[in-house]
Amino acid sequence: MTSSHIVRNAGKPMPEHTCGQPEHDEVTDYLLLRTVNSREGLINLMSEAEAFFHERGLDERTIYISNLVLEEVLTNVIKYAYDDEGSHEISVELTLDPRHVQIVFEDDGREFDPLSVPTPALNGPITDCEPGGLGIHLVRKLSSSMDYSRTGGVNRLTIRLARK
């Protein structure tokens, strides 16, 4: 796999749990993207995702926030998740229903629960403040929900955003 390789798998899969789901949660579209931990990989994945959001007619605000979430989470993974210089696959699953965008990130980097990151303290004099954790803080504030799990050496972060 090259540093900017994207594997795309789009369609309308049967969701795992369809029984008893309310009508508004019906899955209407789905895209699985796989890339590697590089800046080029991030840029290509973001470009694929944005094209998908536009194709599916998402409103501009939802596209903006979805892009922001993708960029923040993937930047963190690429910068901090790996102890070696090797190539690692990161997968991003996008699922659209009429009310939500769901983004599921999976990586095999070191264990990291973004929900455990404290909110950056940005209330004193600017010269005393550090912007560390800003990206995760933004994601938390803009998401409807965030769930994290670690299974078999894989971080799985599920983020849901409300559509307008």
Partner 1 sequence: MELHVIDSNREFSHIALSGKLDVEGADQIETQFQSLTSEAGRSAIVDLEQVTYLASLGIRLLFATAKALAAEGKKMIVVNPKPMVEETLLTSGTVNFIPIARGFEEAVTLLRS
Cα distance between residue 36 and residue 20, in whole Å: 37
**DSSP letter string over 12-29?**
-PPPS--TT--GGG---E
Binding site for partner 1 (CB under 8 A): 39, 42-43, 46, 60-61, 64, 67-68, 71-72, 75, 120, 122-123, 125-127, 129, 131, 134-135, 137-138, 141-142
* Min separation Cβ 81 and partner 1, Å: 16
Dihedral angle sign, alpha carbons of residues 41, 13, 103, 48: positive
Cα distance between residue 123 and residue 115, in whole Å: 21
Decide whether 24 or 164 has the Cβ nearer to partner 1.
164
Residue with tokens 């696959």: 89
Decide whether 67 or 87 has the Cβ nearer to partner 1.
67
* Min separation Cβ 25 and partner 1, Å: 27
* Min separation Cβ 74 and partner 1, Å: 9
Rounded to the nearest 10 degrees, the angle between the axes of helix 39-55 and helix 60-80 is: 160
**Assigned token pair, 134:** 């800003």
Decide whether 12 or 54 has the Cβ nearer to partner 1.
54
Decide whether 109 or 135 has the Cβ nearer to partner 1.
135
